[in-house]
């Protein structure tokens, strides 16, 4: 999965998709985020469950353990290794959901530059990506070490032509189960290994190369662009 995504809806749109029955503890604000071209290290709205409540905080995209000072903070974690390796051991129990509108990938189509594509759900609903992280809670306030990573898996079906990896996305029912602290860690691992959403729920189209520059932050970066031989 490439390191660029959009999170432009408001927190309540994402909450409605999750359909959590209890109240929201909201530290992310009520206005639309309007993040059309979010890159690693961006502060993004992240959900986790605190007791019976859903909590939303703005958390940095990217995390590394305190002892790994000489490496860049990863933004993704491979589903095949995340539950077993030492690197993410400290945050594997801290499950979260990053709700996004879409993500971007770059495809080599034989031209002088790679062609960026936007991937979104066919029904335009928010995408609920499985994540783990270090984030604020009732017990611990915000910290300079806070951050999260998105869990990724091998792409399947037609999405293989776009990129060989994709985020593990969950339907709302499984997303709620993933967030529930009562869900055993072993079961959570099986969920992200085998119960991610199928490729068929997604669609993709080419967008302009302006998305490659993080300074381009407006809604124009998600607009379809003409491709050779026709238009989208």
- Choose the catalytic residue: 34, 105, 177, 203: 105
- Residue 62 gets which letter from DSSP? -
Give catalytic status of residue 173 as yes or no. Answer: no
Contacts of 224 (CB under 8 A, 6+ apart): 118, 205, 206, 207, 231, 232
CB 63 within 8 A of CB 134: yes
- Choose the catalytic residue: 2, 34, 50, 80: 2
Give catalytic status of residue 2 as yes or no. Answer: yes
Contacts of 220 (CB under 8 A, 6+ apart): 208, 210
Contacts of 54 (CB under 8 A, 6+ apart): 15, 18, 20, 22, 23, 24, 25, 47, 48, 179
Residues with active-site annotation: 2, 105
């Amino acid at each position: 999965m490439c390191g660029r995504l959009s999170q432009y809806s408001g927190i309540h749109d994402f909450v409605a998709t999750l359909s959590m029955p209890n109240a929201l503890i909201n530290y992310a604000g009520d206005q639309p985020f309007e993040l059309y071209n979010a890159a690693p290290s961006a502060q993004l709205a992240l959900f986790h469950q605190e007791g019976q409540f859903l909590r939303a905080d703005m958390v940095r995209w990217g995390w590394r353990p305190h002892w790994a000072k000489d490496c860049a903070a990863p933004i993704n974690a491979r589903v095949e290794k995340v539950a077993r390796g030492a690197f993410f051991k400290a945050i594997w129990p801290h499950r979260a959901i990053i709700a996004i509108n879409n993500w971007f990938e770059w495809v080599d189509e034989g031209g002088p530059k790679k062609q960026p594509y936007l991937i979104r759900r066919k029904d335009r609903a928010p995408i609920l990506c499985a994540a783990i992280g270090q984030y604020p809670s009732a017990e611990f306030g915000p910290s300079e070490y806070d951050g999260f990573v998105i869990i990724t898996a091998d792409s399947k079906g037609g999405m293989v032509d776009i990129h060989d990896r994709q985020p593990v996305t969950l339907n709302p029912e499984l997303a709620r189960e993933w967030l529930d602290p009562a869900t055993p860690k072993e079961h959570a691992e099986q969920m992200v290994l085998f119960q991610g959403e199928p490729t068929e729920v997604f669609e993709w189209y080419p967008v302009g190369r302006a998305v490659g520059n993080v300074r381009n932050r407006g809604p124009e970066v998600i607009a379809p662009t003409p491709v050779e031989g026709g238009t989208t």
